[in-house]
Amino acid sequence: MQLNNVFVILFFIGTGISLCLNQFLEYTDYKFRKIHGNDIPSELADVVDREKIAKTVLYEDSKYKLWIPSSLLSTVLDIFLLASGFYPWLFFTFWNLTSNIYGTVILFAFIISIPAGLIAIPFSLYQEFVVEKKFGFSTMTVKLWIVDELKSLLLSAVVSVLLLAVMTFLFEHAASFWWLLLGIIYILFSLLVSVIYPVFIAPLFNKFTPLDDGSLKNALEKLLASAGFAVRGVFVMDASKRSKHSNAYFTGIGKSKRIVLYDTLLAQLSTEETVAVLSHELGHYKKHHVVKRLCCMIPVVFFVLAVADILVGTPSLYQGFGFSTPAGLFPHMKFIGLFLLSEVFGGFSFLPALLGNYFSRKDEFEADRVASELCGSGEPLITALIKLHSENLSELTPPPVYCLFRYDHPPLLERIRAIRNVSPETKDL
């Protein structure tokens, strides 16, 4: 590794900033929780259980104490693998063995994913079988955890091999405009996944059954009809076989659109509150948030790939991290170039995330307003949000700076106050 190389310098700057920022944010949240975590805002004094608040503090503290060694170890591993010359040795070993760029890229991508994956396993197991079980969330069995991991690995391997093969083909046969074709393929693939995920992928992990006839189904059908929104069905997911955490969402596009309700959510909320939660999700569609996000994403994807096209042709990018670039091999190394760029600029990912969180929170406020309008009142949504935060042991009042960087949804109090501002009838909670 050449320490005076501009790409190496950028890597260490980004890694250092990211490490310090993340430690600062998590510690700030921890200290704020120690001081204010048991405080109950006046707006929630009559509806929040003090015992649940104390349990939330302990739950968040447990996750924080597990996050510290996990994040530090991941950072140390990342620096070590880049600085040790492991990646050049691995790439050229596979190239010398196969003399085939497709085999080299696929084998390289597979092996480099192993160290981080192995380190993550004990932390994942501890989180699932110690922390989540201690606080009454996890219903996971060891057998189910193993099966889930194997399914995920197999699915990831199939998709990764396909995408890597397509990417390498473009590098080899569309050298001057690979970035343009790759951008088009990426966008089309994202849309394809949105169509096939609810129908073919999600059922690999969970069972989805149509919602039984009754008051809730009638209320949801009435809601969808009034909003002029068509879906293929309303399904209940057996989330409780893994966790007691609850959620609900719309998924799919076009004819594959469907509503999914966690069975845990149905056990926690009333019919009116469930309708309010789904009204919020419907608000995202009515305000075209998905389409707007896609329209913003498309030019960004092409811009990033166009810049990457310039940078992957820079020999110093490879030389800085120990890759020699023989004239005959250099055209085959564009995948390595993209990999190194992801390492160099990965530490600066908090910048686009910060911007994305800001606009995501704006969308959430807007969806809340739509939900209040569709339900004729904001009160059902407020009571649903309070219950969901309580049952999921979510913090009520995280520090503002933490929300800025970490929250893609507004904190609970901000949402309640915003709903009240447009729903006068909810002022007396």
Q: Give catalytic residues, as residue numbers.
A: 281, 368
CA distances from 48 to 292, 395, 419 (A): 36, 12, 18
User: Of 245, 219, 221, 223, nearest to 233 (Cα)?
Assistant: 221
Beta-ladder partners of 210: 235
- What does the buried/exposed string (b/e) look like for 305-331 if buried means 16 or more CB atoms within 10 Å of the residue's CB? beebbebbeeeebbbbbbbebeeeeee
What burial class does residue 212 get, using C-beta atoms within 10 Å of its C-beta: 0-12 exposed, 13-18 middle, 19+ buried?
exposed
Residue 86 and residue 71: Cα distance in Å, rounded?
21
Residue 369 and residue 381: Cα distance in Å, rounded?
10
How do beta strands 234-237 and 258-262 pair? parallel
Residue 31 and residue 373: Cα distance in Å, rounded?
38
Beta-ladder partners of 243: 138
Residue 328 and residue 352 in contact, taking contact as beta carbons nearer than 8 Å: no
